[in-house]
Amino acid sequence: MGYSFIFYKKMVNKEKIFIGLLILVIILSIGSIMIMNNIDSDDVSEKINYEGEQSSNINLGILETEKNSGEGK
Amino acid sequence: MKSINVFMVVAVIFVLFAVVNLIIHFDDVIKLTGFSTGSDTGTANVTIMSQASIQFTANTIDWGIGRVNETETSALLVTNGTVKEGNWTEVSTGLLLQNDGNTNVSITLTSTVADSFIGGDAGTNLYQLLVSDTGAGEANSCDTAHLIMDTFTEVDGTAQSACTNFSYYDAQDLIEIDVLLRIPEDATPGLKSATLTATATPL
Mean pLDDT for back-to-back runs of 10 residues, chain B (203 residues): 74 82 73 58 68 90 94 95 95 94 92 95 95 92 93 96 94 94 94 94 88
Do B96 and B40 lie in one domain? The reply is: no
Query: Does B59 sit within 8 Å of A56, measured CB to CB?
Result: yes
Measured between CA atoms, how close is A13 to chain B, in angstroms? 13
Window 103-122 of B: residues touching A by CB (8 A cutoff) are 105, 111, 117-118
Is the pLDDT at A11 greater than 70? The verdict is no
DSSP classification of residue B80: T
The Cα B136–Cα B94 span in angstroms is 8
pTM, entire model: 0.66
Assess whether pLDDT exceeds 60 at residue A49: no
Provide the pLDDT for residue B77.
96
The residue of A30, A36, A40, A56 whose CB has the most chain B CBs within 10 angstroms, and thus the best one to mutate to test that interface, is A56
**Are residues B52 and A50, on separate chains, in Cβ contact within 8 Å?**
yes
Q: What is the DSSP letter of B147?
A: B
CA atoms within 13 A on the CB side of A69: 14
Question: Are A21 and B8 within 8 A, CB to CB?
Answer: no
- For residues B75 and B83, the answer to whether their CB atoms sit within 8 Å is yes
- Which residues on adjacent β-strands are paired with residue B169? none
In this prediction, residue A7 has a pLDDT band, given cuts at 50, 70 and 90, of low
The answer to whether the Cβ–Cβ distance between A33 and B191 falls below 8 Å is no
B25 and B64 part of one domain: no
- The answer to whether the CB of B11 falls within 8 A of the CB of A20 is no
The reply to whether B128 and B59 lie within a common domain is: yes
Based on the fold, state whether residues B89 and B183 are members of the same structural domain.
yes
Check whether residue B70 and residue B96 sit in a common domain: yes
Cβ(B167)–Cβ(B139) below 8 Å: no
Which residue of A25, A52, A59 is in closest CB contact with B60? A59
Asked if residues B134 and B177 have their Cβ atoms less than 8 Å apart, the reply is: no
The pLDDT score that the predictor gives to residue B61 is 95
Residue of B1, B16, B20, B25 best to disrupt the A interface, most CBs of A under 10 A:
B25
Q: Which domain holds residue B126?
A: 54-202
Give the residue from B131, B136, B135, B133 showing the smallest Cα distance to B148: B131
Q: Give yes or no: residues B134 and B85 share one domain.
A: yes
Q: Tell me, what's the pLDDT at A67?
A: 61
Q: What is the total count of domains within chain B? A: 2
H or E segment to which residue A46 belongs: helix A42-48
Q: Is the pLDDT confidence value at A45 over 50?
A: no
The chain-wide mean pLDDT, for chain A, equals 70
**Residue A64 backbone phi and psi in degrees, to 5:** -65, 140
Helices then strands, counting H and E runs in chain B, come out as 3, 11
Same domain, B37 and B62: no
Same domain, B43 and B117: no
- Report yes or no: B149 and B128 within 8 Å, Cβ to Cβ: no
Say how many residues make up chain B.
203
